[in-house]
């Protein structure tokens, strides 16, 4: 299955975001639209990526684990 086929099935109802947006803006957009992923469009309006809730959770988890390691806390201390 190709992304272009999936997007064609959406008939223009695709939520997009710019690649310069931060994770907080992306998370807010996902929550407001009640969707699980957003298409990232480059300056030439070409697809440069897809960001999902799962991507955000993984990034947050990794940042939390790194922070806990720096402060000497166990990643299980929460």
CATH number of 3-52: 3.10.580.10
pLDDT, tens digit (0-9, with 9 covering 90-100), for 46-65? 889 999 999 999 988 877 77
pTM above 0.75, yes or no: no
Per domain, the residue ranges of the chain are 3-52
pLDDT value of residue 8: 76
Per-residue pLDDT at 76 exceeds 70: no
Give percent of the chain with pLDDT exceeding 70.
87
pLDDT value of residue 41: 93
pLDDT value of residue 63: 75
DSSP one-letter string for the chain: --HHHHHHHHTT---EE-TT--HHHHHHHHHHHT-SEEEEE-TTS-EEEEEEHHHHHHHHHHHHHHHHHHTT--TT--
């Amino acid at each position: 299955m190709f992304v272009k086929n999936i997007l064609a099935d959406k008939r223009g109802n695709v939520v997009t975001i710019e690649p310069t947006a931060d994770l907080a803006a992306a998370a807010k957009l996902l929550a407001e639209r009640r969707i699980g992923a957003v298409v990232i469009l480059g300056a030439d309006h070409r697809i440069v990526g897809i960001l999902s809730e799962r991507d955000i959770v993984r990034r947050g988890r990794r940042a939390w684990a790194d922070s806990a390691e720096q402060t000497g806390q166990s990643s299980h201390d929460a």
